[in-house]
Amino acid sequence: MADRIVDPWGARTPYPRGGDWPIRVDENTEGPVDEWVQSACVLCSHGCALDIGVRDGRIVGVRGRGVDRVNHGRLGPKGLFGWQANNAPDRLLHPLVRRGGELQTASWDEAMSLIVERSQELLATRGSGALGFYTSGQLFLEDYYTLALVARGGIGTNHLDGNTRLCTATAGQSLKETFGCDGQPAGVHDIENCDTILHVGINTAETQTVLWMHELDRLRGPDPPRSVVIDPRQTESAREAEVHLAIRPGTNLAILNGLAQQLIETDRLDRGFIERHTIGFDALERTVSGYTPQRVAEICGIAADDVRRAAEIIGEAERLLTFVLQGVYQSHQATASACAFHNLQLVRGMTGGPGSGIWQMNGQPTAQNTRETGCNGDLPAFRNWQNEEHVAELAALWNVEPLQIPHWGPPTHAMEIFRYAEQGSIEFLWVSGTNPAVSLPELERIRSILSQNGLFLVVSDAFLSETARLADVVLPAALWGEKTGTFTNADRTVHLSDQAVAPPGEARPDMEIFLDYARRLDLRDKDGEPLVKWSTPEECFEAWKECTRGRPCDYTGLSYDKLRGGSGIQWPCNDAAPEGTERLYEDLTFPTFPDVCEDYGHDLATGATLSEADFKALRPDGRAVLKATEWTLPHEWARDEYPFALATGRTVYHFHTRTKTGRTPELQAAAPDAWVELSAADATRLNVAEGDLLRVSSPRGSVEAPARIGRLREGVIFIPFHYGYWDVGDDAGPDGRPRAANELTMTIWDPVSKQPQLKTGAVRVEKAR
């Protein structure tokens, strides 16, 4: 299998437009397998279906599921090798509590009693707003839904969010702004039918490797799609593109407005579609009119002719498929830019048909479920916190009073949760399955918040992460493969993952931990019955189905039995669509009716929330909302003392903060340490050779790592954000040097989606020694 480290995508299996992507079953096992157990990969949002190989009660490998619609049997390097983390020797086996400043082994009873006593004390003295919960994009739907009920319906706190705030908050928010509701419009099979692909700020070749295989096999087959890529780096997809626009970081909205301007000026529009199915075209036309190719070229640092060529390709497309990810979501004017893709797609009438659509991609593997279940700043099943009827529905479902569910303001987003903890109004924070001490911006500040005396920090995780080391109580959690549950990928495909092996030591599934917490807190419904009515994952899934009934993410046609044996199935899946739904909005009716929509929308420039009355006055009523915004200068713009723009990002071999992939020998060996990537021109100017140790500094901190001379535009520095300190010491990398990219990033977020701007910042670069 070593070649899948060298060649992450494996051999090509080309297919023509409209053809079926051939099946290729990838497998990696350590010796013979006694039993195969159905599951899917949780190392990125593509969610490839796989079977887990088990021998003697231990995971010994995986193989792709050829029957599955998403991956047709293929797996990427993380999927093929990442399962080894389950068997890592440093798994957390017992709860830990802090005694005399040290984390020491404790019983479950002692650990949970401490958590519950602290919770009760704060509820009695400070109220529910003193408790906050920060969860993950890597748990299962059943874990999240249980947490959402406990936090929102039981404790009654508004402070619940997920680390999906860092990766997909903008995806969800932009879909709400344009279409009225979250939910990926396109499906994976649209790759087989498109004639043009637009990639913006997404490096599928490294972040969703199997998605890239699907695209690459089209590119290698007969009648390949044309391709435009917008990215400051020359990624694999950029190398395949007909036009690559290597724009200056922070200028996404300018180029997108420029492309819209060209479509309008050259009249490459579907005016009938615009008239019947959208509102806001006149304002869009006015806003983008000043973004001529020449002006856009100056702002973005590219050639005006390339803007025209890209617009021509998009304008000539008959089936346009657009992919967007962190280069947009974690950057300046994130939601406004993400909505600008919708504008391009909609003015060309390319939504709802085969091969035409939008992939507002997710990053975290189960981020979709965090969003759906109400763990990511929304109410469950895409309910609108401003809509009293939606709140009442939820209250009836949970059998609690509507006022018990906080909805006096928008659910608190992660950046605010950490600010409240910093300021002392949140005194209890439970972090489950994520590692903010490496992944959040401005780490010096985050470490100081997490370690302050006034904060009672609970961490449930499978490993003693950088965050867990700062906790008052650490709970050992079961990983994928050690529990049963479901999760949903970026194209709405729901997979069942059956338990293959027992969790090690005393580790428990997150759902069980939250159930135990609810029992010990004695959370009750309004009739005095236990608030949480389920005790198994399947019972939770059945309850979740009821929560989604009639909502856009309707799961009522699914069941564990239906998900066993064959392919994953896309929601909505109900009586009207018993086999699931390949793409949304085929009837060109969007969920922008005031009584249905998940959100009334925002002013994209300021983030001001629209009221129900504001929204009704727009009268979208089933039409998509075109929203246009002027480009503005980013908060930090590379110049003077800090002349480089910083882009943080990912490598093909690691996931998130390497908690799992750093414990996978092949993946860790392939990318053992951070690096600083710069262009050949900048390297020459700074007299830097490959491997020289560089120091990168921002007003927040510094990072030291070896130079890698790469293919990115001049004036841009790339640093992968995966690397923290758990494997090399408490607060420094190899040789005592700081290496976490988020030492450099700043505490600033998008005004609409509240996603931190991890890819906007200015830095200085020099040789370290």
Residues found near ligand SF4 in the complex (CB under 6 A): 41, 43-44, 46-48, 71, 75-76, 78-79, 208-210
At its nearest, how many Å lie between ligand SF4 and the CB of residue 207? 8
At its nearest, how many Å lie between ligand SF4 and the CB of residue 566? 18
Token couple for 396: 């009836």
Are 659 and 435 in contact by the 8 Å Cβ rule? The answer is yes
Q: Which is nearer to ligand SF4, 10 or 374 (CB)?
A: 10
At its nearest, how many Å lie between ligand SF4 and the CB of residue 84? 14
Please choose, from the candidates 430, 383, 484, 380, the residue with its C-alpha nearest in 3D space to the C-alpha of residue 139: 484
At its nearest, how many Å lie between ligand SF4 and the CB of residue 547? 26
At its nearest, how many Å lie between ligand SF4 and the CB of residue 481? 13
At its nearest, how many Å lie between ligand SF4 and the CB of residue 255? 28
Q: Which is nearer to ligand SF4, 361 or 457 (CB)?
A: 361
3-state SS, residue 766? strand
Residues 6+ apart with CB under 8 A from 300: 245, 247, 248, 251, 254, 255, 258, 307
- Residue-wise DSSP of 489-504: -TTSEEEEE---SPPS
Are 71 and 48 in contact by the 8 Å Cβ rule? The answer is yes
Q: How many other CB atoms sit within 10 Å of the CB of residue 90?
A: 11
Q: Which is nearer to ligand SF4, 5 or 768 (CB)?
A: 5
Backbone angles phi, psi at 632, to 5 degrees: -130, 165
- What is the sign of the dihedral through the CA atoms of 535, 540, 542 and 546? positive
C-alpha–C-alpha distance, residues 233 and 242, integer Å: 15
Q: Which is nearer to ligand SF4, 178 or 209 (CB)?
A: 209
Q: 541-546 long-range CB contacts below 8 Å, 24 or more apart? A: 541/141, 541/142, 541/485, 541/486, 543/145, 544/141, 544/142, 544/145, 544/373, 546/397
Q: Which is nearer to ligand SF4, 203 or 387 (CB)?
A: 203
Q: Which is nearer to ligand SF4, 341 or 653 (CB)?
A: 653
At its nearest, how many Å lie between ligand SF4 and the CB of residue 357? 20
Question: How many Å separate Cα 156 from the centre of its chain?
Answer: 26
Tell me the residue type at 194: C
Q: Which is nearer to ligand SF4, 545 or 650 (CB)?
A: 650
At its nearest, how many Å lie between ligand SF4 and the CB of residue 66? 14
Q: Which residue is closest to ligand SF4 by CB? A: 79
C-alpha–C-alpha distance, residues 373 and 233, integer Å: 35
3-state SS, residue 198? strand
H or E element: which one contains 324?
strand 320-324
Partnered with residue 103 across adjacent β-strands are 98
Q: Which is nearer to ligand SF4, 48 or 160 (CB)?
A: 48
Q: Which is nearer to ligand SF4, 60 or 311 (CB)?
A: 60
C-alpha–C-alpha distance, residues 335 and 749, integer Å: 11
Q: Which is nearer to ligand SF4, 76 or 738 (CB)?
A: 76
At its nearest, how many Å lie between ligand SF4 and the CB of residue 116? 36
Judging by beta carbons within 10 Å of its beta carbon (0-12, 13-18, 19+), is residue 27 exposed, middle or buried?
A: middle
Question: How many Å separate Cα 49 from the centre of its chain?
Answer: 19
Q: Which is nearer to ligand SF4, 4 or 623 (CB)?
A: 4
C-alpha–C-alpha distance, residues 167 and 434, integer Å: 13
At its nearest, how many Å lie between ligand SF4 and the CB of residue 358? 20
Q: How many other CB atoms sit within 10 Å of the CB of residue 281?
A: 18
At its nearest, how many Å lie between ligand SF4 and the CB of residue 394? 31
At its nearest, how many Å lie between ligand SF4 and the CB of residue 144? 18
At its nearest, how many Å lie between ligand SF4 and the CB of residue 42? 7
Are 516 and 112 in contact by the 8 Å Cβ rule? The answer is yes
Please choose, from the candidates 759, 16, 716, 671, the residue with its C-alpha nearest in 3D space to the C-alpha of residue 337: 759
Q: Which is nearer to ligand SF4, 68 or 442 (CB)?
A: 68
Q: Which is nearer to ligand SF4, 63 or 248 (CB)?
A: 63
Measured between alpha carbons, how far is residue 523 from residues 148, 497, 508, 694 in Å?
13, 29, 21, 54
Token couple for 464: 């003693």
